[in-house]
């Protein structure tokens, strides 16, 4: 199972990085979303992988509850940031008339 | 006075929330609330500094959970100094913005307060994940502030700034995952202890985690090769915001100093990434100096001077002796206040020249040319590091404590290039004037705010000895991480 999770994270981060390097704001936003999915999973498994275990400390084995709390915080923050970035990208489109990340028009002129 | 330590976070938090409630567009009330909050921070920061100066490290357990299980706030000399510096910068920056700039967009005052909350929180927290959270608080407020005032240039710079920092946050989370996965703790003091008990693969993973943290903090501090976002973002930001941002890069420098001093100064991962930080710092110095020469606007010149100061500071930090750290802290105080003042001055000049703004082309002289020229001269002398002002004192202290020929070469060479760049900017703006500009007089409160910050240059030079003695005392405490670790973990577990 470890290998499967590792590959999953690698694919998410890999696609995320590829998309972040695109020149249009929309792929960049998608890339950042995928990147944060991968990173959230990574934080989540830092408490080790365990199956069928309760998340609270009790009698017997329990999975580590802290990474779950951390990842919840990270998800909330990531969600808010993505929403902000979408609004910013829309405003960039409105102000510069193009969705290029540098605000450049397709003909090479400044937006 | 035990609860005073949380006040630098709570006061701006409450003020910010109050400001969000003031839905009516009633600017005087907002200005009053905002100013009241930053003015209230002044005695608090002074009292905290006084408390910390006694030498005792004060630990505040949030929710009374014992460390390392709960989150702690820690007040030592270094955090007290940084909070005090942040407050000293915030008062003039807000005063300047209150003249008119705060009306150019909604919620300026609330964002300003949240920004202060995030910065103060980052300086006070003793927990790595909490540091991440406060980073996010200060970042999301700064996103709003960078964009404050609208315009295509700001949006362009804003998108770069936001995307880069989001990627930085993702990397920070990876680092935290590695730290927690290997040591099972996020408390800085506990991490410093546990990291020395690791071996084999776990130690290598912790090493990667630590190095990733340097990348993230390097991005915040604008260290080469991660500084390219800074000139555009700072030069396009509203003046009061740019002045406050002078401390944002120092949050990155502080974070490196804090984590390095605790966990990596000694032990299993001693000197982690020190050589890399050293090389990057020197490269930052050179490239920023070239940036100063190539800048086309006064705001950009000052922004590159900020980058240059980061290189200077990071090299002093990477040398990692208590003496060099003390000298670096003196330089940090000087550069934060003076570059904040120069950002305000750049805006005053831009206002006085009308359409041309702060572009470095010959045009009408700014209104109040004589006064502004003198101020620019003082600021330039200080920021370049010429005698007799504070920059010179700071550089001499650094050169004395970092006896590396390469550093001397880069620092002095960079200073020379900066001198050329600043002279070019000054002579274009003030001497090659084609006539008198608008007949308006320079706005008094704005001038007062600029003076407040630039006054740091002569004052820090006059009281160089006591200030240096204080920063060396801070450094001495920083160099004894066991004091910090004992204060946080002692008795608790």
The string of pLDDT tens digits covering residues B451-484 is 999 999 999 999 999 999 999 999 999 999 999 9
Burial class (CB in 10 A: 0-12, 13-18, 19+), B183: buried
Closest CA to B336 of B246, B273, B397: B246
Is B485 a domain residue?
no
Contact A92 B170 (CB under 8 A): no
B422 falls within a domain: yes
Chain B hits for A28, Cβ within 8 Å:
163
In a domain, B194, yes or no: no
Over residues A46-55, the mean pLDDT reads 79
Nearest CA in chain B to A24: B159
Mean pLDDT of B96-106: 82
Residue among A43, A50, A63 with most chain B CBs within 10 A, to mutate:
A43
Cβ(B341)–Cβ(B454) below 8 Å: yes
- For B234-253, the DSSP string reads HHHS-HHHHHHHTTHHHHHH
Q: Which position has the higher pLDDT, B490 or A78?
A: A78
Q: Within a 10 A sphere around the Cβ of B355, how many other Cβ atoms?
A: 9
Residue B286: inside a domain, yes or no?
yes
Task: Tally the C-alpha atoms within 13 A of residue B340's C-alpha that lie toward its C-beta.
Answer: 38
Q: Which residue has the tokens 């400044």?
A: A110
The residue assigned the tokens 């990348």 is B215
Q: Does residue B232 have a pLDDT over 90?
A: no
Residue B290 domain flag: yes
Q: Which of B136, B156, B174 sits opposite A39 (nearest CB)?
A: B174
The number of beta carbons lying within 10 Å of the beta carbon of residue B31 is 19
Residue B175 CB contacts under 8 Å (≥ 6 apart), including other chains? B209, B210, B212, B213, B216
Work out how many CB contacts closer than 8 A connect A with B: 90
Beta carbons of B96 and B239 less than 8 angstroms apart: yes
Cβ of A106: how many Cβ atoms within 10 Å? 7
Distance of CA B488 to the CA centre of its chain: 26
Task: Identify the pLDDT of residue B437.
Answer: 59
Residue B341 has pLDDT above 50, yes or no: yes
Strands (E), B46-99: 58-61, 72-75
| Non-local CB neighbours of B482 within 8 Å, separated by 6+ positions | none
CB B30 within 8 A of CB B22: yes
Report yes or no on B225 lying in a domain.
no
| Residue A2 pLDDT grade (very low, low, confident, very high; cuts 50, 70, 90) | confident
Beta-bridge partners for B469: none
- Its domain, for residue B454, covers 275-462
Instruction: Mark out chain A residues that contact chain B at CB-CB < 8 A.
Output: 20, 25, 28, 32, 35-36, 39-40, 42-43, 45-48, 66-67, 70, 73-74, 77-78, 80-81, 84-85, 88-89, 91-92, 95-96, 101-103, 111
Q: What ipTM did this prediction achieve? A: 0.91
What are the chain A neighbours of B158 within 8 Å (beta carbons)? 88, 92
Longest dimension (CA), chain B: 72
Q: Per the structure, how many domains does chain B have?
A: 1
Are residues A103 and B155, on separate chains, in Cβ contact within 8 Å?
yes
Confidence of residue B362 (pLDDT cuts 50, 70, 90): confident
Q: How far is A80 from chain B (nearest CA, A)?
A: 9
Please give the pLDDT value at position B221.
92
Cross-strand bridge partners of residue B297: B359
Q: With an 8 Å Cβ cutoff, are B166 and A81 in contact?
A: yes
The verdict on B156 touching A (C-beta cutoff 8 Å) is yes
In this predicted structure, what is the pLDDT of residue B205? 92
Q: In this predicted structure, which of A93-102, B111-120, B296-305, B315-324 has the lowest mean pLDDT?
A: A93-102
pLDDT on residue B493: 42
Backbone dihedral angles phi then psi of residue B76, each to the nearest 5 degrees: -115, -175
Cα–Cα dist B377/B370, whole Å: 11
B178 reaches A (C-beta below 8 A): yes
Contact B451, B375 (CB under 8 A): yes
Give me the pLDDT at residue A111, please: 42
The rounded distance, in Å, linking the Cα atoms of B131 and B259 is 11
How far, in Å, CA of B478 to CA of B474, rounded? 6
pLDDT at B492 (0 to 100):
46
* B375 alpha carbon, distance to own chain's centre: 22
Give the closest of B129, B133, B159 to A92, CB-based.
B159
Q: Write down the pLDDT at residue B436.
A: 64
Does residue B362 lie within any of the structural domains? yes
Question: What is the gyration radius of the CA atoms in chain B, in angstroms?
Answer: 22
Q: What is the dihedral of CA B408, B413, B415, B417, to 10 degrees?
A: -170
Tell me, what's the pLDDT at B23? 66
Would residue B299 count as lying in a domain? yes
């Amino acid at each position: 199972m470890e290998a499967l999770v590792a590959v999953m994270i690698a694919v998410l981060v890999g696609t995320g990085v590829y998309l972040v390097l695109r020149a249009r704001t929309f792929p960049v936003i998608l890339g950042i979303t995928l990147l944060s999915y991968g990173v959230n999973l990574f934080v989540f498994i830092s408490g080790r992988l365990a199956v069928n275990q309760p998340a609270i400390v009790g009698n017997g084995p329990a999975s580590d509850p802290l990474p779950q709390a951390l990842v919840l915080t990270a998800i909330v923050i990531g969600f808010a940031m993505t929403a902000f970035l979408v609004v910013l990208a829309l405003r960039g489109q409105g102000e510069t008339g193009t969705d290029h990340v540098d605000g450049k028009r397709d003909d090479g002129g400044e937006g | 006075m035990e609860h005073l330590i949380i006040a630098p976070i709570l006061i701006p938090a409450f003020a910010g929330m109050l400001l969000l409630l003031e839905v009516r567009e009633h600017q005087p009330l907002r200005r009053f609330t905002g100013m009241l909050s930053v003015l209230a921070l002044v005695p608090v920061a002074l009292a905290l500094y006084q408390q910390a100066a006694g030498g005792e490290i004060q630990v505040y357990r949030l929710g009374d959970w014992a460390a390392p299980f709960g989150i702690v706030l820690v007040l030592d000399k270094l955090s007290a100094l940084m909070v005090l510096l942040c407050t000293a910068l915030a008062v003039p920056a807000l005063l300047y913005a209150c003249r008119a700039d705060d009306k150019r967009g909604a919620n300026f005052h609330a964002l300003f307060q949240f920004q202060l909350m995030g910065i103060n929180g980052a300086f006070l927290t003793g927990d790595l994940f909490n540091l991440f959270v406060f980073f996010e608080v200060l970042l999301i407020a700064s996103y709003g502030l960078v964009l404050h005032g609208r315009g295509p240039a700001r949006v362009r710079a804003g998108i770069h700034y936001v995307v880069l920092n989001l990627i930085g946050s993702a990397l920070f989370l990876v680092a935290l995952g590695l730290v927690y996965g290997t040591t099972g703790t996020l408390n800085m003091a506990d991490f410093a202890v546990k990291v020395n008990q690791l071996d084999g693969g776990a130690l290598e993973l912790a090493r990667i985690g630590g190095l990733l943290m340097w990348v993230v903090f390097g991005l915040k501090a604008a260290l080469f090769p991660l500084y390219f976002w800074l000139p555009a973002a700072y030069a396009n930001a509203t003046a009061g915001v740019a002045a406050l941002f002078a401390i944002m890069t120092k949050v990155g420098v502080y974070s490196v100093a804090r984590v390095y001093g605790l966990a990596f100064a000694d032990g299993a991962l001693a000197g982690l990434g020190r050589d890399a930080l050293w090389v990057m710092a020197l490269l930052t110095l050179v490239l920023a100096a070239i940036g100063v020469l190539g800048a086309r606007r006064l705001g950009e010149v000052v922004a590159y001077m900020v980058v240059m100061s980061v290189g200077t500071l990071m090299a002093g930090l990477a040398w990692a002796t208590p003496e060099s750290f003390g000298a670096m802290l003196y330089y940090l105080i000087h550069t934060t206040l003076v570059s904040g003042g120069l950002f305000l001055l750049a805006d005053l000049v831009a206002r006085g020249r009308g359409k041309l703004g702060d572009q470095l082309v010959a045009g009408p002289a700014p209104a109040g040319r004589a006064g502004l020229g003198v101020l620019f001269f003082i600021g330039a002398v200080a920021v370049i590091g010429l005698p007799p002002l504070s920059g010179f004192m700071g550089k001499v202290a650094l050169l004395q404590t970092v006896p590396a020929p390469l550093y001397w070469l880069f620092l002095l060479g960079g200073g020379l290039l900066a001198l050329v760049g600043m002279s070019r900017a000054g002579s274009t703006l003030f001497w090659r004037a084609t006539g008198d500009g608008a007949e308006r007089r320079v706005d008094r409160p704005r001038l007062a705010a600029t003076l407040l910050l630039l006054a740091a240059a002569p004052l820090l030079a006059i009281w160089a000895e006591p200030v240096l003695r204080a920063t060396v005392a801070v450094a001495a405490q920083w160099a004894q991480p066991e004091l910090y670790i004992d204060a946080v973990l002692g008795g608790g577990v």
